[in-house]
Structure 1
Amino acid sequence: MIGLVMAGGKGSRMKIDDEKLLLKYVHPTILHVIFALQNSECFSKIIAASSPHSPKTKEMIQNAGIEIFETPGDGYVKDLNLVLKSINDDIFVVSGDLALLDEEIVTKIVKAHNPDGLWTSYLVTKDFANSLGLKPKYAITFQNKECYFTGISIVNAKEINNLDSVEEIYHILNDKRIAFNLNTKEDYNLLGSS
């Protein structure tokens, strides 16, 4: 399995001058994610998808010894699809803005994964996210519960022929280590109280 860190976004909802993934919570956020993947020892290789929108983040990732997959920065879904089309393996996809991610939760997700699923995405319930003070913008209904995406998916890229017609499997995992996507200043400010 390959670990893929999505690290090429603009971070426009954060409304800050610097790149979002460089925000510090002990370490820069992007390094928390990279260290969690490395320390889990679950991956044969770790790569990061970068774009022209995040040159300083790209440099930090390269300095950490992580391979870069250059994307055009056309949006999360388009950039992710570009990467998936070029890799013939199972891929653990993670957003680079999960500041509380650690190797324990990464290992738990990887070990519990059903290899028969083509695309498995992890969710947290709205109630759980709200209990942490988080108010994500985009929700879906799953098992009669309003849920939010965490930024973590496991994709069997070698079995996917057409990315437009993949049936996604969802799992709810209410754990703050995967709930804290840093999308706004408010999200970042909540880290201190977590």
Structure 2
Amino acid sequence: MDALLMCGGRGTRLDAAVEKPLVDICGRPMLDRIAEALHRSRVETVHAVTSPHTPNTRTRASDLGLHCIDAPGDGYVSDLGFALERVSRPVVTVVADLPLLLPDHVDAVMEAAAGGSLTACVPVELKQTLGASLDDSLVFDYQGTAVCPTGLGVIGTKTDTTQSDSTDTDSTMYLTSDTKLALNVNRPTDIALAEERCE
């Protein structure tokens, strides 16, 4: 199974001096850390989905030996759709602001997806306890618990309809309380939180 590393966003909330995927966490760019986790997992090929907003990220991705997909930069959903037309499915997807991602996380979602679609989520309460930033627009209810996506998941084959089947959310949800998956670096305060937990 291949992976799409989504790294074409503007990263305006972080307000960093470099492109968001190139922000250092414990002395290494987030892009490098996530690419390493993907390479050490069971993923076969890592595709970096870049855009006109992230030219330096594209250069770094090439230096790391990643296959680059140059998306238009019209937003996450649009760029993901663009990239999906250029890879085979199922495919792992991961955002470039999840710097504590481990190979075990990737392998676990691949196994749990079993060829279908799956979204890894964490309880909102966990993010609040950690003091991590939270995008309220992504929060939803899962079996009575407020949860939000981590940015890690699997998109199944085109004939896989479980993702759109609202009556079968169990098969598309991977709920975890792993703090490493609860820390997306979206704001400056998230950098310190992530660095406290580097390995």
Q: Partner of 2:181 in structure 1?
A: 178
The Cα of 1:177 is off from its aligned counterpart by 2.0
Contact 1:84 1:157 in 2 (8 A): no
Residue in structure 2 matching 1:122, options 120, 130, 139:
120
Secondary structure of 2:13's aligned partner = helix
The Cα of 1:160 is off from its aligned counterpart by 5.5
Q: Partner of 2:193 in structure 1?
A: 190
The Cα of 1:112 is off from its aligned counterpart by 2.5
Q: CA RMSD in A?
A: 1.8
Per-residue CA deviation, residues 24-68 of structure 1 (Å, 9 max, x unaligned), is 11310011110000011x122111100000111111000001000
Counting only pairs closer than 5 Å after superposition, residues 1-194 of structure 1 correspond to structure 2 as 1-26=1-26, 27-40=28-41, 42-115=42-115, 117=116, 119-138=117-136, 139-159=139-159, 166-167=164-165, 169-194=172-197
Cα distance in 1, alignment partners of residues 82 and 3 from structure 2: 15
Q: What's the TM-score once normalised by structure 1's chain length?
A: 0.90
Tell me the amino acid that sits aligned with residue 50 of structure 1.
T
The Cα of 1:124 is off from its aligned counterpart by 0.3
Contact 1:121 1:152 in 2 (8 A): yes
The Cα of 1:170 is off from its aligned counterpart by 2.0
Cα distance in 2, alignment partners of residues 159 and 34 from structure 1: 29
Number of aligned residue pairs = 188
Secondary structure of 2:93's aligned partner = strand
The Cα of 1:185 is off from its aligned counterpart by 0.8
Secondary structure of 2:111's aligned partner = helix
Q: What's the TM-score once normalised by structure 2's chain length?
A: 0.88
- In structure 1, runs of 5+ residues without a counterpart are none
Secondary structure of 2:85's aligned partner = helix
